[in-house]
Structure 1
């Protein structure tokens, strides 16, 4: 089965409604090994979650799940799922960076220690702030898909402090990689504060002035109202879904 995903250097599979793998990119095959069904590659603790949400009735959804690699290693992954029809669906697998998991663990440990003692409050507060800064930086990984196209999936709530870190990272990466088209995926974004909208406007304006084409996908209805506040007098294209964005470039 030929799909637009064949041309992308990403881990992706095409499944039927019974989770049978109909096609897998070479990256997905290398990651998951020789498995007949996608559920065979899902860690047991994530089975119920995947069965509940990965089905044609959901049409498109993004969720987190633990997968088992060909080497038997359990990894955290972000699954972007879309169904072309009731017969088959496409799953793009974004492997969570181990550093994100480490930062999450650091945050949990630091919060627990802060609640138990005030003796090292100042020192622990500084460490927490450093971990939060790192977590903010990892909330918008810069993924080079081709020489000209980069994917930047955003995670969590967007506020001024997080966007300050994201903006610095994105502008630096864009300048270094010289990508012409930047695709921002809002699928995993929660709420967008007014301060976050202001910083988004500043970042998008800077990217456009640098000569980049900015595309936005995965925007939810409530987020669309917020993003209308951008009011940028520059060309920014909104695309309905990540799947549509992929087809725009590779069909």
Structure 2
């Protein structure tokens, strides 16, 4: 609930509330008063909580846009709002929390002392806080779902092992029946293992898509595999990671591998060009790898010129080129020929 406290303190609000979508409707989960601790729960429906103006919440829910009310008592949109009539708040602000196109909650702020407390400058900051809260909430819900699934698997496993142990003891005298029970146990164990592997794969894919790792291959060569979708946030992350890594390590060659990039468009090309230009200023050469035939056709159709960059079709070839450029090929050429799986064995 630190985000709620931060929103109240940084906005000039006297009180605020965090409202979350729980499937059965929007519920007030926490309320923060200026100078007091945040009160959490029990959750209450918006119209029954008495903590927020339902009219403001309804507008935000329908429009998924911020609602700024300079003086609630004079705003025609809230003429029939019982909360406004009873408590007569002045400045009111409702901010949507949207993640992946879905409304996950609403941040509600009010000030009863004066009108027009929430200025446009404060609104920008508060919308940023609301967006960060939406991302944090989505991650927490994802973690909760994964944890719940893991708990179910663990309980099923414990129950299965107990049942198998009991059944084995009961059927120990009959070899044929015992073999049948062992076969059933193996089948269920295999299903459990496959389900667990699927969960691990989903988690690994999620983390890999969000990451921009910079892998040191040698003291002079570093590689950055880009995976998934490249948006503005990931482009900035890739650029900052590459600049920081080259500056700290003094690398001469940086390999940007786009084998795992799901879509190659102008945004991806811009990321490559910007990163290459910035690294050249630090004295590092950039090598692009993972350019498959369909990727080449996409770049040509977008009329994007990568002529100033060194490009190789595979990461293996890019590593070989980098080793030649740094003069380290005699020591590592055998390792480079083994491909990406050998990177973790490189002595540094």
- Give the TM-score band, short-chain normalised: 0.3 to 0.5
Structure with the greater alpha carbon radius of gyration: 2
Higher strand share goes to which structure? 1
- Structure-1-length-normalised TM-score: 0.46
Higher helix share goes to which structure? 2
- Structure-2-length-normalised TM-score: 0.34
